Amino acid sequence: MNCIIHVGLHHTGTTSLQHFFALNSPFKNLILYPKTGIHGKQHGLLPGCFIENHPFLPSDKIKNLDYYFNQLKEEVKQSNVELCVISSEVFT
């Protein structure tokens, strides 16, 4: 399986894309928008592991990237899709 990391720049339609994928995952059994690392409708908890304080993220967030990778690996393994999409403005 391939995985795309969508580095969503602000004010470029990223939120609309995230809402679509969150409501429709898995999309046509081809695209997985994982629940792992989700805060709101985006995967902000993944890049949040590297950011001490971010106004969008909760202060008590888990900051262990291995924790999220292990969860993500299991979620992907259990799905039967061809592509995984991870999206967050926090990557920027």
pLDDT in tens, 26-70: 988 899 999 999 999 999 999 999 988 888 888 888 999 999 999
Reported as a pLDDT band with limits 50, 70 and 90, residue 80 is confident
Give pLDDT, residue 33. 97
Give pLDDT, residue 28. 87
**How far apart (Å, rounded) are the C-alpha atoms in residues 13 and 2?**
23
- Supply the pTM of this predicted model: 0.89
- Hey, CA dihedral for 6, 79, 36, 13, is it positive or negative? positive
Give pLDDT, residue 92. 87
